[in-house]
Amino acid sequence: MQTLIQFTIDVLSLGGAYALMALGLVIVYGILKLVNFAYGELIMVTGYGLFLVNGSGLPWIVMAAIAVCIAIATGIATDYVAFRPVRSKSVTAVLITSFAFSTILQNAALLFISPRPRNVPLPDFFSQTVEFAGVIVPARNLITIVASILLLVVFAWAMKKTVLGIAMRAAATQFRMARMLGVPANLIISSAFAISGFFAGVVALLWIGRIGSVTPGIGMEPLLVAFIATVIGGMRSLQGAVLGGFLLAFVNTGLNYTLPQQLLEFRDAFTFTLVILILLWRPDGLIRGPATGQRT
Amino acid sequence: MLEVNGLQVNYGAIRAVRDVSLRVAEGELVTLLGANGAGKSSTLLAIAGALRSGGTIRVDGADVTSWTPERLVRKGIAMVPETRDVFPDLTVAENLLLGAYTRRRDSAGVASDTERMYALFPRLKERVAQAAGTLSGGEQQMLVIARALMSRPRLLLLDEPSLGLAPTIVDQIFDMIADLKRQRLTILLVEQNASKALAVADRAYVLRLGQVAVEGRAADIAAASDLEPLYLGG
Amino acid sequence: MRKGNLLTFLILLGLVALLVLVPQLIGVRVVERIATALAISLVLVVGLQTFTGNSGILSFAHIGFMGIGAYVSAVLTIPVQMRGMALPDLYGVVKTLEVSPYLGMLIGGLAAALVAAVVSYPLMRLSDAPAVITSFALLVVLYTILNHWSAVTNGPRTLFGLPNATGLPLAGGVAAIVIMVALVFKESRIGMLLRASRDDERAAAALGASIPVLRWRAFILSALIAGVGGALWGHFVTSFSPKAFYLKETFVILGMLVIGGMNTVTGAVVGTFAVTLAFEGLRAFETSLNASGMFSEQVVGITEIVLALAMIGMMFLRPGGMFASTEIGPLLARRFTRTKS
């Protein structure tokens, strides 16, 4: 029973973070049909944002807010630097510029900050533990669960009830038609990148909360998680991203609990095998989403 | 109110519209006829700002040739594309709401217009909360027209509203177009169903190979039987 | 081979011949090493072109297959007594089997092709973004395995002791063969159908082609070449760690391919030359910066930033790269006939 509670908390906290990562990637993909390789670097800049404001004497929550704002700004900047110039060109061109932009950000961090890890400020409650139903769990896992569920609910509400949210869902299937109704293309695209940056920023706080420091390569694992989660969930569907995130967390945690130590190092390989199996069964992912899709 | 001069539209190396000039006066219903591939839809899309084009397009005397589609909507131009682009996973109500995107701050006006649309199209009212992708072809056509009207346009661009619909529904659609005309809405109508279109229109242009072949009063063109092969695609 | 492409092959062969001969005339060791590395890059980039150029799908997994080739050849060719020290936990017969480096390279390529054949089939049904993403995930998985399978790869630590068997003539020779294979493949039935599918999947399917199967074959060929290239590289540097087969390398070969133009073999070759030469210049600059002691820490990353900017610039100005659709042979032939008439 205790193991079950422990397992559930692990899955939910990991899954919440994974779902947010996947959503941040898929919100941009859904509208522009482009895979943002620089998504992991949004997590990196949040970390370095925290590192740079460290010692400013501000309350942690303010520092965290600044760091998240940096991620949002970088997200929007990604659009202007890497995507807008080549948006009308081929899908491959856009993929390459996003990969190149990711490299620029990472190497800029190497060049101007350091290849070595930098410590970031974290509030005390991140390292505390709580007893919950007879199980001792890290407080940050509970924070992650609460924060991610809250964000998912708010996001679902906004996409359903606000005009901008509805317009974004519309643009994901019929971009040109949305424009012919007066929805400004640039507003939709910038909003998508801003939301992407926001999710990346929040995820970064939760993610770096586990590690306590930031390196230029820190975005790699979240990026991969977001990739795999969106592919198994279905690239065209927001619900798919969330489902994929939780499913991946379930599989990873399940492997963590069951695999012997020497095989645990190969966990990613096992996960990937599972992805292949899912794709054999459903090449479009679990949730197919709308069939149509056009770029601007 | 709309004045198009020497319009050209290219798709890569293919020139879909070579040289189209046309005028639509305030309150007028003008129809654009022609065989498949004559360049009718491309002309409409270019006027709506969705295709890059050469030549000039003027609305109320202002040159709008290089305007984006979203800016043209604010100028009062609404497009109903032939592809019947409903937003398939949005509900009927959400589709209508987006039609009023340019008036989103006027929530009272939007609400009353929504009611007006439901009165005009009772079928839509029955399906308010249904995803638009699940509607029948005729219902989708009603939805895209209603959605376009939600922006309170001054000029409505209608691309083949009767395409692929059952005859009774086609009659309904044309009754409604006649209604809109009586309310003094300016309309540019592209149609394959020439006899229906000529019956409601004031004037007509017949396109052939991307150029205006004939223009004149709708009644005259309908009477001149020797023109039929041109717009019937013979 | 069509006449135009025979000309292409001769021109590219000429480039490779220059690459092999000029350093030997100069006789400076550094130049020869750079030229050898360039020839190996040619093998890798042209190998990637056989898949990406024909199918239109970017593959990020290529370097992973290079790693497989390098490690397989290493395990089979490191002298047995050294192998006992470096890889004490190696399994059964492999522990004592020692083959010549040339056979090792061949087996390395075949091993990479075999792995590609097994894992890639389901991925070939995907197009566009999901295809790219899964190839990226595949790279990460291959890296994870290389990094953790200590019994075979010595884990994240450097593996020493490969016989030094790759000289400039060998690398150049393999590069020439690979260029020929890529040109022939491009003109083959599979290559043509694949290129048709790149432009219009349904049209190619209507010709009775099973696109996943076509892509799968191209992917295996590309992995085979990558494996051979990896083994060549292994016997050139003689010691390496899994880090060598990851994102940085992936980025470099992708950069070479897209700057040159991924749709043509000429583009792959010219891109490799251009990027390598630019890289060497920048690296010299970075080294001199570090040597000057102007900065307290090592200056790293300038070369990558410049390459990334060059890629973005190329995508903006000429999204198809330097040779976007036509090989050098037909291009010259056309120009020649035009001036004549």
Which one has a higher pLDDT value, C207 or B164? B164
- Lowest-pLDDT choice from A46-60, A207-221, A277-291, B118-132: A277-291
**Which amino acid is it at B124?**
L
Mean pLDDT of A57-85: 92
Query: Residue C161 class from Cβ within 10 Å (0-12 exposed, 13-18 middle, 19+ buried)?
Result: middle
Residues 6+ positions from C335 with CB-CB distance below 8 Å: none
Q: What's the pLDDT at C339?
A: 63
**Contact: A167, B98; criterion CB under 8 Å:** yes
Contact A39, A226 (CB under 8 A): yes
pLDDT computed for residue C296 by the predictor: 65
Give the pLDDT of residue A292.
46
Helix (H, G, I), strand (E, B) or coil at A51: helix
pLDDT in tens, C51-73: 999 999 999 999 999 999 999 99
- Please check whether residue B70 is in contact with residue A189, taking contact to mean a CB–CB distance below 8 angstroms: no
Q: Chain B partners of A181 at a C-beta cutoff of 8 Å?
A: 73, 78, 98-99, 101-102, 147-148, 151
Residues 76-115 of B with CB under 8 A from A: 78-79, 81, 85, 87-90, 94-95, 97-99, 101-102, 104
Query: In chain B, pLDDT over 90 holds for what percent of residues?
Result: 61
CA distance linking residue C83 with residue C89, whole number of Å? 10
**Mean of per-residue pLDDT scores for chain B:** 90
- Which two structure tokens, joined as six digits, stand for B178? 């006649």
Residue C82: its pLDDT value, please? 86
Q: Is A95 on the interface with C (CB under 8 A)?
A: yes
Chain A residues within 8 A of C145 when measuring between CB atoms? 266, 269
Which amino acid makes up residue B168? T
Total beta-carbon pairs less than 8 A apart between chain A and chain B: 72
Q: What is the mean pLDDT of residues C26-51?
A: 94
The reported pLDDT for the residue numbered C128 is 76
Do B205 and B196 contact (CB within 8 A), yes or no?
no
Asked if B87 and A178 come within 8 Å (Cβ–Cβ), the reply is yes
C129 and chain A in contact, CB less than 8 A: yes
Highest mean pLDDT among A15-29, B4-18, C296-310: A15-29
The percentage of chain C sitting over the pLDDT mark of 90, rounded to a whole number, equals 57
> Which pLDDT does position A173 carry in this prediction?
86
pLDDT digits (tens, 9 = 90+) for C305-316: 999 999 999 988
Which carries the bigger pLDDT value, residue B222 or residue A154?
A154
Using 50, 70 and 90 to split pLDDT, how confident is the model at C297? Answer: low
The interface pTM score, or ipTM, of the predicted complex is 0.87
Residues linked to residue C246 through DSSP beta bridges, in sequence order: none
Residue C227 to residue C69: CA distance in whole angstroms: 4
Q: What is the pLDDT of residue C245?
A: 95
What's the average model confidence in pLDDT over A19-45? Answer: 92
User: Can you read off the two tokens belonging to residue A103?
Assistant: 């490299």
Residue of A nearest to C137 (CA): A224
pLDDT the model gives residue C10: 92
Retrieve residue B23's tokens: 């005028």
Helix, strand, or coil here: C37?
helix
Of the candidates A159, A224, A163, which has an alpha carbon nearest to the alpha carbon of residue A195? A159
Q: At what angle do helices C101-120 and C62-77 cross, to 10 degrees?
A: 140
pLDDT score, position A289: 66
Which range of A69-78, B99-108, C323-332 scores highest in mean pLDDT? It is A69-78
Q: In what order do the strands lie in the sheet with B2-11?
A: B62-63, B54-59, B2-11, B14-24, B211-217, B203-208, B29-34, B186-190, B155-159, B77-80
Q: What is the CATH number of domain A2-281?
A: 1.10.3470
**Neighbors of chain A with 3 or more C-beta pairs under 8 Å:** B, C
Of A82, A46, A62, the residue nearest A200 (C-alpha): A46
Residue B62: DSSP 8-state: E
- What pLDDT is stored for residue C340 in this prediction? 55
Task: Find the CB nearest C319 among A89, A220, A279.
Answer: A89
Residue whose pair of structure tokens reads 């522990």 in the numeric block: C95
Q: With contact defined as beta carbons under 8 Å apart, do A94 and A87 qualify?
A: yes
Q: With beta carbons less than 8 A apart as the criterion, state whether B169 and B135 touch.
A: no
> Looking at CA atoms only, how far is residue B30 from chain A in angstroms?
21
Q: How far is CA C329 from the centre of its chain?
A: 23
Contacts of C89 in chain A (CB under 8 A): none
d(CA B66, CA A165): 28
| pLDDT, tens digit, 9 for 90 and up, residues B144-183 | 999 999 999 999 999 999 888 889 889 989 999 999 999 9
* C-alpha to C-alpha distance for B166 and C167, rounded to whole angstroms: 76
pLDDT at A290: 59
Residue of C nearest to A268 (CA): C141
- All residues of chain B having their beta carbon less than 8 Å from the beta carbon of residue A169 are 87, 89-90, 94
